[in-house]
Structures are given as C-alpha cells and as structure tokens.
Structure 1
C-alpha cells in the first residue's frame, strides 16, 4: 500500500493554491527500483534555469547524479544523519550551488536567495510532472567540495532527492512515523509580521 493510499498529502490551506503547490510535499520514501524519467528531470532543471535572479546573474549551478552512478554514491556518502538512511532510494540527487562571488571576486550578496528560488522552481515543476522531491540541508559541504573539486566561488546550498514515491512502510522508525504524520505549517497570521 502506498503512502498516498493512506494519507492525504494535499495541504490544508487557508486560501486556494495552484494544485502543484498545494499537493507538493517532501517524502522520504522513494521507489528504489524506479528509473527517473529523463525528460521530467530535464524539465525540472529547465524550470530552475528560468527562475528569477538579482541582475539576471543566474548564480546557480547543479550537480546532477542519477542512482547507480559514482557521483550519486559520493553524494550519499556526504549526507548526514537520517538522510543517508532514505536518500539512496531516490532516482537522482541534485546538489544546488550558489556562485557567491563573480569571476572578479565581487560578492554576489543575493546568490543563496536566488538559488533557493531556482530549487523551488525545480521542485514545483518536478511535482507537476509526477516526480517527488525532498530538499536537505544535512550534508557535508566540505566533503562535496573536495569530492567534486568545486571552485571556491561556489557554495553548496542544498541537496535535493528526486524520484518516484515509494512505500513508507519500508522506512525505518522514526522516519516512517514522520512520513505518515499530517502535514503542518504555522498559521498565516503567525508568519506575517506586518500586513498593512
């Protein structure tokens, strides 16, 4: 039985949202047998490419590693904590990097913000096309930097697991419990400091 058969994952929003936003969530249970659809992965990367950035600087770069590749195994080895327990089942892992300084060494102050937007566009397009994503901050940035010989101008910001939904029952506890728990968010009134 799949997770979607047992628990609704659509957000209980206070105002209607686009389905791709309301239905998007971050599973940990991925199908370790499913091969990621190349066109869908490319579409998600294209969505990231077309996201907005300060001065159109486009400070994002990505390391894309499909399950079964040495690059994938290297990324999994640099994940921390529980992330190593589940992320290896994803169809691909995507490291998002921010170019925090240009070629002349000038600081790109908004680079990490812009990379966040690019990854958000990636995740929404992926969900629209039937893929699932889970963004992670628990990884060894220095390990990734060394393994992939990343230029110092670039900073690893996140790792995103992407693939097809798997069976939550295959997850170890307490990950299974977290996977099946209802989705929650702070109330809209709590996140609006000023709404004049």
Structure 2
C-alpha cells in the first residue's frame, strides 16, 4: 500500500508564501530527488498554476543546473489536479502532458491511490494538505521550514478540524538554514 506524503515549504512563522522564501541549489536538489521517488503529485488549481513556471523552464532551461534539473523532474512527474473552476489541463494550453484533472473527489482519489502498488504519492498544495489532514489521509508530513519570518499570508494549518498529534521521525538540515521536519501521525 502506498503512502500519501505532504511536502511543503513554509516560513518560520508557519506561512506558505513562495515570495518570502528563496530556495537554493540544495533545496532544489532535495525536491528533485523527492519527485524522483514518487508516482504522482497532487495539486489544487492555484498551486498547479503557480508550478507551471517550471514547465516553461523545462522547455527553455535557465542554465542554472539545480533549477533546470528540478524543472525536468517537475515536468516528468504525473500531476493530478483538483479544481472546481479549472476545466482542462490540455497540454496545448498548459504545456504539461503529465497533468490530468481528477474526475473524483480528493478523498476518493486519495483512497484509490493508496490501494495501488508503486511509489508514494506527494501532495504539494496547502489547500489539499489541509483537506487530507482533516480526512486523516496523510501518512507523512514533510515541512521544509525556511529561516524567514513572513509576518502573515497563508497559514499552513488553517481550518484544521481536529487536534492532530504528530511524531517527529527525522530531520534534514540544509546549509542555508532551512530544516525539513518529517512527521507521521502519532498513534493515540
């Protein structure tokens, strides 16, 4: 049975703000390796559209190896998108042939994916992480905490319906000061 792993960047004060953090070569390599160890990544519409930047970079490399390698990994991994407003992930529009719009609810699709064999499934959208935490379907939470205080934006743990106890299973520290905290749900 596969696991559903939530992986997200956040500031020290708990916000998911892509403009507040500055991933370096080491962070890009970490996420490139992560994507290589997964069968798919789940996105909500907003994050999916933000991540389309990487599709452009995959087509037109920047010359910065870590970014170009991450763009290639992002381009290759199958992306499953959940949206009530997005009508299509047509590669002629998005450029990504590796993306599909889910016809199932998040809960149905997550349960289906968990039952299949293969590599783990990643979740990369704040909104989907919150929903899956409320459904108790996250098997591991990987929080990459950057040494930045944003002072406000989108809090990661907004609208969590129940108290959730987590067990720290490992950490990874980067030279630039970011730390990945790996948690799994604690058995209560």
Whether the TM-score (by the shorter chain) exceeds 0.5 is no
Q: TM-score, normalised by structure 1?
A: 0.27
Q: Which structure: greater helix fraction?
A: 1
Q: Which structure: greater strand fraction?
A: 2
Which protein is bigger by CA-based radius of gyration? 1
Q: TM-score, normalised by structure 2?
A: 0.28
